[in-house]
Amino acid sequence: MNELSLFLTHAVALEDESAERYEDLADNMEMHHNPEVAELFRKMAHYSRLHRQEAVGLAERETGGLLDLNPWEFQWQGRESPESGDIDATHYLMTPYHALSLALDAERRARDFYADVAARTTNERVRELAHGFAGEEAEHATILEQWLQRYPPPEPGWDEDPDPPTAAD
């Protein structure tokens, strides 16, 4: 990825999806009466939006602006964008452990994406920015790793609900 505008267009898409995923996870945690983890996810969504704004600003100041790419024109390493997370794993019984693990996976994929761009690009400015972004994603991953220590994996059978929410509340 040797063109700054192309790189920043990827960064914006990645942070968009990240913010969206965190809002979904926050809603899920609120629904399951876990306001602490919900608040963490709202904060992470906020960071993603700040990061997005930063990329938009850079694109406007240093390039002709963001590119208008079709979905198939994105150059992700995998099949989908690195920070999109496996939202199908969102389960109405999702525990903080599952939500935090899902978010951690996405942060690690984002970090790897930026690190890979930094390692392979021939554009000095792209390398510098990608390196910085990879560092920020690594920090996000560390925050989630710390939170995960407070929420151990649930016992087997955690998803067998003896009291479905429709009957409860």
108 makes contact with Zn ion (CB under 5 A): no
17 makes contact with Zn ion (CB under 5 A): no
Instruction: Among 129, 140, 144, 147, indicate the residue that binds Zn ion (CB under 5 A).
Output: 140
Of the pair 22, 121, the CB lying nearest Zn ion is at 22
Of the pair 38, 144, the CB lying nearest Zn ion is at 144
10 makes contact with Zn ion (CB under 5 A): no
Sorted by sequence, the CB contacts under 8 Å of residue 123 that are 6+ apart come out as 1, 2, 3, 4, 7
Q: Cα(83)–Cα(137) distance, rounded to whole angstroms?
A: 10
Q: Cα(103)–Cα(20) distance, rounded to whole angstroms?
A: 12
21 makes contact with Zn ion (CB under 5 A): no
Q: Cα(132)–Cα(141) distance, rounded to whole angstroms?
A: 14
Of the pair 54, 107, the CB lying nearest Zn ion is at 107
Q: Cα(8)–Cα(145) distance, rounded to whole angstroms?
A: 27
Segment contacting Zn ion by CB under 5 A, of 23-31, 58-66, 100-108, 121-129: 100-108
Q: Where are the alpha helices (DSSP H) in the chain?
A: 4-31, 35-62, 96-120, 124-148
Neighbours of 64 (CB within 10 A): 9
Check if the beta carbon of residue 102 is closer than 8 Å to that of residue 85.
yes
Segment contacting Zn ion by CB under 5 A, of 63-71, 101-109, 118-126, 150-158: 101-109
15 makes contact with Zn ion (CB under 5 A): no
| Shortest spacing between CB 74 and Zn ion, in angstroms | 18
Instruction: Among 66, 137, 144, 147, indicate the residue that binds Zn ion (CB under 5 A).
Output: 137
The residues binding Zn ion (CB under 5 A) are: 107, 137, 140
